[in-house]
Every structure is written in structure tokens, then in C-alpha cells.
Amino acid sequence: MIVAVASGKGGTGKTTVAASLSWVWKRPVFAVDLDVEEPNLHLFLKPRFTGRRTATLEVPLADEARCSHCGACAELCQFKAITVLGTVRLTFPEMCHGCGGCLAVCPEGALAPGRRELGEVLWGRVRGEIGLCMGQLRVGEALSPPLMRAVIAQARELALRDGADLVIDAPPGTSCPAIQAVSPADLIVLVTEPTPFGFHDFRLAHEAFLPLGKPMAVVVNRADLGEEDIHGYCRRLNLPVLAEIPHDRRIARAYAQGTVVAAELPERKDLFDRLATEILGHGDVPRPLPEVPSHA
Ligand code: SF4
Ligand code: SF4
């Protein structure tokens, strides 16, 4: 099973939930941090890293001697990563998305595959039991989805060996990386809080993920703060609320100290145990309604 823990905005408790969920998971599990721009799941789970590799993207390398400056590559590249101006051809590897199209259309064979470093994929184990896989985007690298793909591929390969499930900590928001992070999931767990900002961004995330047609469920963090009607919204849209985490200074302190709430606060462990049980029974989680009603 692959479960993605996501949120419409940062700071809602998504990583707190992902870390505790991995901690109490009742089957072999790999925690996967797909927030490759700012990974922090490892700061809570504190794995012993056992492997790492550099992830790269295939970018074109030009052979000046062969280039006839026909312009076919520039015409094809929708990312403007190659430009031909008269007898000058310029390549911008940092703008390349690695589609390989220019190499395929070059009539002179003047482009060969080169490599751009994206960052690192790292993996290890927590307490010898929980696997962890994460990515760390290279400083200055703007394109995170290819590294995310490398992380999820590595996690799948490792999990397959152990027969493990994946708990993905997705990047916050509704942009391309967030959508990509939840795409492999069997269930998306949206973490939100009943504040105006939290509710607003939760609805955006829900709407953004709806076209994927994945089952979704909700965890309300700091549930006794704010007055937004998250439950009413969820009822109308067939979104089960699987857990409510109360506003508790000890949880905030555990987070600030970089510890796992389910491990640090035994009295809160039950909550995550129940959440894990609910998620593992996700067959009962209804599909989201296909459209967001205007009154929602
Ligand atoms: S397609 Fe090949 S030959 Fe034509 S401009 Fe590009 S690199 Fe040069
Ligand atoms: S590989 Fe694709 S994205 Fe990169 S320069 Fe060639 S056509 Fe553009």
C-alpha cells in the first residue's frame, strides 16, 4: 500500500503525522520524504543512512563540428533550453527537462546525451525496522520532479525487497511537485487545521487532487483551534475524517525538539495507532465526489 500525507500549506502538521504514522505502522514500511527541496522527515526519524546515489538528468551535449545550425532542436524544445541564432547555437542545460527530443530530431547527430546533476537520493533505516528514503535537491537546481521520480523509484525497489508499504511525506501546496508526490498513492491523507488559512489551502489541495480520482481522507490537526467548518465540508464531499489531533503544547514541543510525537508522548500514540488501522482499512474509504459543489 502507498499512502501519501499531504497538505495545502506548510506548517499544518503533515510531517508530524507522516513521522508518527511510520513509527506505529503495523506492517513493514518505508517512510519516503518527497519534499526534496526541504526534506525534514529524517530530522524526526533519525535514520542510520546505509546508501546514497547521485541522481542525474539526461541533457544534450553539442558537438560544434557537426552542427549545421538547422534549428530543428530549438524549434522542438518547448522549454527554450536550446536556441539557434544564425550560426550560433546556445544550450541552457539548467532549463532542460531531459525529454530527449532534440537528440532524436537532430539530423546531423550533433547532440549526444550528457548529464546534469539533480541531487542525491539517500536511504537508511530507523531502529533497524522502518526504512527511510529521501531526496536532497542540489543547491541551485530548480527542477524537483525528476529527483522525486528517482526517490520514489528507489523507495519502491527497496520496499519491494521487504514487502513494505510506503508512507510518503509530500511537499506542501498544490503545485506540480505536490501533485506528482501524491500520484502513486492508493490513499491521500490531507492534513489540515480549522483556521481560515488552513481551511482555504485544504480546499485548494482537495480540488487539485480530485482529478487524480484517488481516495482521500482527512486528519484535522490542532482540531480545537479555529472555527472553520471542516467537518461540514468533508461530509458534503464524502471525505472521511480519520483523526483529530488536539492542540497540545507538548506536541508542539516534541516537534520543536525534532522528536516523533507517537514515540515521545505515549498518551498520543493511541491516536496514531487508530489512524494507522483506519488507513490500512482504506478499502472502506469512499471515493471523493467528482466535483466540488458550489455551496462547499
Ligand atoms: S538540430 Fe542538430 S544540427 Fe540542427 S541546430 Fe540543433 S544541434 Fe545543430
Ligand atoms: S532534452 Fe528536451 S528539454 Fe532538453 S534541450 Fe532537448 S528538447 Fe529541450
Q: Which CATH number is 99's domain given?
A: 3.30.70.20
CATH number for 247: 3.40.50.300
Residues 90 and 49 placed together within one structural domain of the fold: no
Residue 285 has pLDDT above 70, yes or no: no
Ligand 1: does its nearest atom lie under 6 Å from the Cβ of 292? no
Ligand 1: does its nearest atom lie under 6 Å from the Cβ of 68? yes
pLDDT value of residue 24:
95
Residue 89 structural domain: 58-117
Q: What percent of the chain shows pLDDT beyond 90?
A: 79
Cβ contact 170:12 at 8 Å: no
CA of 68 to the centre of ligand 1 (A): 6
> What would the mean pLDDT of 122-142 be, rounded to a whole number?
94
Residues 23 and 89 placed together within one structural domain of the fold: no
* Total structural domains within the chain: 2
Ligand 1: does its nearest atom lie under 6 Å from the Cβ of 63? no
Residue 225 has pLDDT above 90, yes or no: no
Q: Tell the residue number behind the cell numbers 517512510, with chain if given.
A: 31
Q: How many helices (H) and strands (E) does the chain have?
A: 11, 11
Residues 173 and 254 placed together within one structural domain of the fold: yes
Residues 132 and 279 placed together within one structural domain of the fold: yes
Grid cell, residue 27, equals: 506492517
Residues 77 and 217 placed together within one structural domain of the fold: no
Which of residues 117, 132, 159 is at a domain's end? 117
Tens of pLDDT, residue by residue over 152-193, are 999 999 999 889 999 999 999 999 999 999 999 999 999 999
CA of 84 to the centre of ligand 2 (A): 13
CA of 79 to the centre of ligand 1 (A): 16
Whether residue 214 is contained in a domain is answered as yes
Q: What is the DSSP string of 146-213?
A: HHHHHHHHHHHHHHHHHT-EEEEEPPSSSSHHHHHHHTT-SEEEEEE-SSHHHHHHHHHHHHHHGGGT
Tens of pLDDT, residue by residue over 36-86, are 999 999 999 999 999 999 999 999 999 999 999 999 999 999 999 999 999
pLDDT band at 295 (very low <50, low <70, confident <90, very high): very low
CA of 105 to the centre of ligand 2 (A): 11
Residues 144 and 35 placed together within one structural domain of the fold: yes
Which amino acid is residue 267, in one-letter code?
A: E
Grid cell, residue 117, equals: 546533476
CA of 88 to the centre of ligand 1 (A): 10
Residues 74 and 206 placed together within one structural domain of the fold: no
pLDDT value of residue 162:
85
Residues 45 and 68 placed together within one structural domain of the fold: no
- Could you identify the atom of ligand 2 that is nearest to the CA of residue 97? 3
- Ligand 2: which residue has its CA nearest to atom 2? 99
Q: Maximum CA pair distance of the chain?
A: 71
- Ligand 1: which residue has its CA nearest to atom 6? 73
CA of 159 to the centre of ligand 2 (A): 32
pLDDT value of residue 219:
96
Whether residue 41 is contained in a domain is answered as yes
CA of 74 to the centre of ligand 2 (A): 9
Instruction: Please choose, from the candidates 30, 119, 111, 128, the residue with its C-alpha nearest in 3D space to the C-alpha of residue 73.
Output: 111
Q: Tell the residue number behind the cell numbers 537520493, with chain if given.
A: 121
- Could you identify the atom of ligand 1 that is nearest to the CA of residue 111? 7
> What would the mean pLDDT of 204-208 be, rounded to a whole number?
95
What average pLDDT is seen over the chain?
91
Please, what is the angle between helix 266-280 and helix 14-24, to 10°? Answer: 80
Grid cell, residue 134, equals: 529521501
Beta strands across the sheet bearing 187-192: 48-62, 111-126, 130-137, 29-33, 165-169, 2-6, 187-192, 216-221, 241-245
Residues 86 and 155 placed together within one structural domain of the fold: no
Phi and psi of 162, rounded to 5°? Answer: -95, -5
Testing ligand 1's pocket by substitution, the residue of 61, 64, 69 carrying the most ligand atoms inside 8 A of its CB is 69
- Could you identify the atom of ligand 1 that is nearest to the CA of residue 68? 3
End-to-end CA distance of the chain: 31
Residues 51 and 156 placed together within one structural domain of the fold: yes
Q: What is the DSSP string of 100-150?
A: -HHHHH-TT--EEEEEEEEEEEEEEEETTTEEEEEEEEPTT----HHHHHH
